[in-house]
Amino acid sequence: MRLVRDFDVDTLTVGVVLDPGFRGLDRTELWDFLFWVVRLASDEGRLDDDEWTARLAVRGMSKPVLRWYIQRDPEVQESWRLLRRALIDNWTLSKERIILLERSEWYVG
């Protein structure tokens, strides 16, 4: 992943993108994305600003992840703490959850 950084810190109006962006492919890509968000927010002294950091995260999401994002409750969309938890819950599966999924009648794999 490559960070492209050129923006107004207060408004996030100009191009902050993560190239190629978080595409939701796997757990490794998720952790790289979370690291990017935390690092950039920390560099800008805004890591404690929950809403600002959530807006920053949206700038690094690709279309498939944005589709997932817009289906979240507004509270999740506006809070980095809640958004981060939702991303982790959605893109990481525990060993127990994988076993249950594979035993499910709906599993195709």
| Each residue's pLDDT tens digit, 9-56 | 444 444 555 555 788 888 888 999 999 999 999 999 999 999 999 999
d(CA 76, CA 50) in angstroms, rounded, equals 11
Q: What is the pLDDT of residue 13?
A: 44
Rounded to the nearest 5°, which phi and psi values hold at 21? Answer: 95, 165
The whole-chain average pLDDT of the chain stands at 79
Q: What is the pLDDT of residue 58?
A: 93
Q: Is 60 exceeded by the pLDDT of residue 8?
A: no
d(CA 72, CA 101) in angstroms, rounded, equals 23
Q: What is the pLDDT of residue 38?
A: 93
Looking at residue 1, the DSSP 8-state letter turns out to be -
CB burial of 78-108 (b: ≥16 within 10 Å; e: otherwise) equals: ebbebbbebbeeebeeeeeeeeeeeeeeeee
Tokens 């289906």 locate to: 71
Mean pLDDT computed over 85-95: 82
pLDDT in tens, 47-88: 999 999 999 999 999 988 999 999 999 999 999 999 999 999
Looking at residue 55, the DSSP 8-state letter turns out to be H
